[in-house]
């Protein structure tokens, strides 16, 4: 049981291991006093990730429903089980009933959004997420999800807006700066290309060995040189960024022992006068 406790504390998503522990130690789980209810919820949630764990899921839910027959928490687990089985309407019926009693319940509102995504109804999911964020604007994960949906639907202007919120919540995560720069790059235009270079450079400041940021900086600089630079920009500086990022990428691949075939191909896909 100690391993289950540790996984609860760390919030690690090791579903296969959790289900295996449950199967091997079911008697111990059920004999762990009041602690078992937390274990059962943990095991049930893990079983949703496993295609062959319906037996474990059923046993967990039966025990929880018997002990907490009118619990909204258990109702939510039941609906999540329907989601996992692709029975989305049954899940929505439960969530809608729960929202009648508590219209602003954030966990249930987010589960409804998950159902829309599961049904591949992306426009409805986007609408629901925007309404949710009007109520809970500090929910970082919701901004992340909305960013992904906008990118998937090629709505890059709104994706950029969402990413700005994400970066405000996580100002030291280089991945978000990279993603924002990539969105600017994809939208195009000389001004946005200049901004893209700045955000790729910021990502490198936070993580100097990020190949993704180096590629981005190189491509954004090369694009500026190809399209022509505004008079206000220093052409020599942009060229230095293009060539310097190429040099760093080549060195990074070599230092990290990349596949020799990949190393040999890299110079041909990069632009500029750097080392060949």
Complete DSSP assignment for the chain: -HHHHHHHHHT---HHHHHHHHHHTHHHHHTSTTHHHHHHHHHHHHHTT-TT-HHHHHHHHHHHHHH-TT-HHHHHHHHHHHHHTT-HHHHHHHHHHHHHH-TT-HHHHHHHHHHHHHTT-HHHHHHHHHHHHHH-TT-HHHHHHHHHHHHHTT-HHHHHHHHHHHHHH-TT-HHHHHHHHHHHHHH--HHHHHHHHHHHHHHHHH-TT-HHHHHHHHHHHHHHHHH---TTS-HHHHHHHHHHHHHHHHHHHHHTT--HHHHHHHHHHS-SSS--
Whether pTM > 0.85 for this model: the answer is no
Average pLDDT along the chain: 90
Residue bearing the bigger pLDDT, 190 or 263: 190
The reported pLDDT for the residue numbered 51 is 87
Given CA atoms 214, 220, 224, 230 in this order, what sign does their dihedral have? Answer: negative
189 contacts: CB under 8 Å, gap ≥ 6: none
pLDDT-derived band at 33 (thresholds 50, 70, 90) equals very high
Q: Is the pLDDT of residue 267 over 80?
A: no
Choice between 236 and 72, residue whose per-residue pLDDT is larger: 72
Assigned architecture for domain 172-276 = Alpha Horseshoe (1.25)
What is each CA distance from 42 to 27, 34, 138, 149, in whole angstroms? 16, 14, 26, 28
The pLDDT value given to residue 243: 84
Tell me which residue of 89, 107, 90, 108 sits closest to 99, measured CA to CA. Answer: 108
235 has pLDDT over 90? no
CA distance 209 to 214: 8
Using only C-alpha atoms, the chain has a radius of gyration, in whole angstroms, of 25
pLDDT at residue 275 in the model: 44
Q: Is the pLDDT of residue 97 over 60?
A: yes
When pLDDT is averaged across residues 109-134 and rounded to a whole number, the result is 96
Quickly tell me which residue has 């505004």 as its tokens.
Answer: 230
CA distance 122 to 148: 11
Is the pLDDT at 273 greater than 80, yes or no?
no
Evaluate if residue 274 carries a pLDDT over 50. no
What count of residues does the chain have?
Answer: 276
pLDDT at 186 over 80: yes
Q: Euclidean distance between the first and final Cα of the chain, in Å?
A: 57
At residue 212, the pLDDT reads: 94
Nearest one of 242, 245, 246, 239 to 268, comparing CA atoms: 246
Residue pLDDT, tens place only, 204-229: 999 999 999 999 999 898 888 776 55
Count Cα neighbours of 100 within 13 Å in the Cβ-side half-sphere: 5
pLDDT of residue 242: 86
């Amino acid at each position: 049981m100690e391993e289950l406790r540790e996984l609860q504390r760390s919030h690690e998503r090791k579903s296969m291991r959790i289900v295996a522990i449950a199967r091997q130690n079911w008697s111990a789980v059920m004999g762990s006093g009041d602690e078992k209810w937390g274990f059962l919820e943990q095991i049930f949630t893990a079983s949703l990730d496993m295609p062959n764990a319906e037996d474990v899921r059923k046993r967990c839910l039966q025990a929880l429903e018997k002990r907490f027959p009118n619990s909204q928490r258990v109702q939510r687990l039941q609906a999540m089980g329907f989601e996992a089985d692709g029975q989305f309407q049954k899940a929505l019926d439960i969530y809608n009933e729960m929202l009648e009693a508590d219209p602003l319940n954030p966990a249930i509102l987010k589960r409804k959004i998950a159902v829309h995504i599961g049904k591949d109804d992306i426009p409805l999911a986007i609408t629901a997420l925007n309404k949710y964020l009007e109520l809970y604007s500090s929910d970082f994960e919701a901004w992340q999800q909305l960013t992904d949906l906008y990118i998937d639907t090629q709505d890059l202007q709104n994706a950029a807006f969402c990413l700005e919120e994400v970066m405000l919540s996580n100002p030291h995560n280089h991945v978000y700066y990279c993603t924002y720069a990539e969105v600017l790059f994809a939208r195009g235009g000389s001004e946005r290309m200049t901004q893209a270079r700045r955000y790729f450079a910021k990502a490198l400041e936070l993580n100097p060995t990020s190949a993704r940021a180096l590629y981005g900086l190189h491509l954004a600089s090369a694009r500026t040189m190809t399209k022509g630079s505004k008079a206000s920009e220093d052409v020599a500086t942009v060229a230095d960024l293009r060539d310097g990022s190429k040099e760093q990428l080549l060195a990074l691949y070599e230092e990290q022992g990349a596949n020799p075939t990949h190393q040999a191909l890299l110079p041909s896909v990069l632009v500029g006068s750097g080392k060949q």
